[in-house]
Amino acid sequence: MGNIVDLLREITAIQVRQARHANPLTGLPGNILINETLATYLAAEQGFAAAYVDLDNFKAFNDAYGYARGDHVIISLSRLLQAQVESAGGFIGHIGGDDFMMLLPLGHWENVCQQILRSFEVMAPGFYEEADRLQGGLHIENRQNMVTFYPLLASRLR
């Protein structure tokens, strides 16, 4: 049995390590902790589901509305993912940008994924100005200098 000072020192070391490897925008575990957690799940030799999450049409949204509003979308998505995944006893990490990794218990993965998709579909229109929301997306110039229509943001799970 250790003393309280040793316990506090160990807790602090764990918190510093997690903070050092967290994504600065969302505070979620970043790539190093994602890889370590995935290795732990694989070593346990128990079934789990892994899902990669990203947003369709995010680049167009970011180009049209700017990085601050894009960051708001990413933070909102991260909170949604965190609430759903943690309530199911899973793990959520932020790879970067609009990319996330979920590790879920086999008994819950399908319900969690469907709930995320439904919830984000409800949230997405609120990120847009009314005119864009009414037309169902954005008309903006693409990289080939052609005006292109991009539908509203949608989450995609693979």
- The tens place of each residue's pLDDT in the chain, 158 residues long, gives 567 766 666 665 555 455 556 898 999 999 999 999 999 999 998 899 999 999 999 999 999 999 999 999 999 999 999 999 999 999 999 999 999 999 999 998 999 999 999 999 999 999 999 999 999 999 998 888 999 999 999 988 77
pTM recorded for the entire structure: 0.85
CATH label of the domain that carries residue 89: 3.30.70.270
Predicted pLDDT at 3: 76
Query: Residues 143, 149, 153, 156: what is their CA dihedral angle, to the nearest 10 degrees?
Result: -80
Host domain of residue 97? 4-157
Predicted pLDDT at 20: 57
- Residue 53 has φ and ψ, to the nearest 5°, of -120, 130
Number of domains into which the chain is organized: 1
Length in residues, the chain: 158
Q: Are 104 and 110 in contact (CB under 8 A)?
A: no
Q: Are 73 and 59 in contact (CB under 8 A)?
A: no
